[in-house]
Amino acid sequence: MTNNIYQFSAKDTLGETVELTRYKNKVVLIVNTASACGFTPQYQGLQNLYKKHQAQGLEILAFPCNQFKQQEKGSDEEIKQFCDLRFKIKFPLFSKVDVNGENSHPLFAFLKSQAPGILGSKGIKWNFTKFLVNKEGKVLKRYAPTTKPEAIEADIEKLLQALTYEP
């Protein structure tokens, strides 16, 4: 098994399969999101980062999830409409997924194994947990839901400027 995100695919909000190889040589921030969460305003911070750094190679992948207090009840179409109208997001929005449990999307099982949480915890604790991936598809870091997107900007800029990541 390879040690990067490129082995995975996911469905977008239109039901189309997106191979993550599409994001090779990009810095990727993967986020599990929800429309009715106290952290939902982070969509704006994510869009600001995307607008500022997309041209240099940043991609943000949003995966709606309804596993935390049922804060993402809508259909994929309703979620997309909400994000378009409220935050005008331009980064990719994927079909709703589970991030924990036996039905966890394989990408999230991989992300959790590569970047465990506090005290080695594998589970995702809440919406807007973020995973930073370098240009080679390696998962470098997990950020807590409380970490605002702008607080990750310096880490993103370092990766965008790097030719390759040297651990």
Question: How far apart are the C-alpha atoms of 167 and 164, rounded to whole Å?
Answer: 10
Q: Is 37 a catalytic residue?
A: yes
Contact at 8 Å (CB) between 104 and 98? yes
Contact at 8 Å (CB) between 138 and 25? no
5, 37, 79, 89: which one is catalytic?
37
At residue 140, the 3 state secondary structure works out as strand
Structure-block tokens of residue 18:
């997106």
How do 27-33 and 9-11 pair as beta strands?
unpaired
How do 17-19 and 9-11 pair as beta strands?
antiparallel
Question: How far apart are the C-alpha atoms of 62 and 12, rounded to whole Å?
Answer: 10
- Exposure pattern of 104-115 as b/e (b: 16+ CB <10 Å)? bbebbbbbbebb
Q: Which residues are catalytic?
A: 37
